[in-house]
A and B are shown apart, each in its own frame.
Chain A
């Protein structure tokens, strides 16, 4: 069964450093997403991406965050200058688009980001 893969599974970074989280969405999917989940809290939407541009973003997704699809297979989330409060599990997801009502999103296993 096709799946969304994320790397690394765990990243530790120092406060103020830049991090890039990587995702390989399912190959025929056209919509891509990043979500985050702070430990013990709910899953929060960050950003959605379609046709090489951001289609929607939440208030969390400020100027410190950016997304890119650099090569047609990878989808990345960059945090420019990490803060302690960026520590969370980050989930990438992808979904098909089209006229079908089936809008199931497939999630990766997540990258645990720890900012120290």
Chain B
């Protein structure tokens, strides 16, 4: 699995936007970029994923660089409930791996300051 690099930790003030970066310089043309998060004492939770185009959903936005070597997860207004570890994960498309396994790194621990 291709590697991703994320900062160990970030802080944000409540109700401000948060930009969580991820570098994946060895990404292949068919790797999807997935983001999961893990709230304290809970299982991982899907946030968003994309391939080439920027993506929006109710939780966040994903901005993907034109060369796909980096991406940024954007939380538009951080709340205290967004305090979690955020994982950027590269995945093969379903027709390549078939099993959809996830390989987690150490992620970015986001602290939201009231």
Contacts and interface: CB of A to CB of B under 8 A. Distances in A.
Interface of A: 4, 31, 33, 35, 42-45, 48, 50, 55-56, 91, 93, 95, 97-110
Given A33-B101, A104-B49, A43 B44 contact: yes
B96 to A, nearest CB: 11
Contacts of A31: 99-100
Interface residues of B, number: 24
B93 interface: yes
Contacts, number: 69
Interface of B: 32, 38, 42-46, 49, 51, 87, 91, 93-95, 98-107
Identify the interface centre among A35, A100, A103, A104: most chain B CB within 10 Å of its CB.
A103
Contacts of A106: 46
Nearest to A96: B100
B105 A107 contact: no
Contacts of A91: 43-44
A110 B32 CA distance: 26
A108 B38 CA distance: 12
11 contacts: A50-B98, A55-B99, A56-B101, A91-B43, A97-B98, A97-B100, A101-B93, A103-B32, A103-B49, A109-B42, A110-B42
Given A48-B100, A103-B100, 18 more contacts: A4-B43, A31-B100, A35-B102, A42-B104, A45-B102, A45-B103, A45-B104, A48-B101, A50-B99, A55-B98, A56-B99, A91-B43, A93-B43, A93-B44, A103-B94, A105-B44, A106-B46, A109-B43
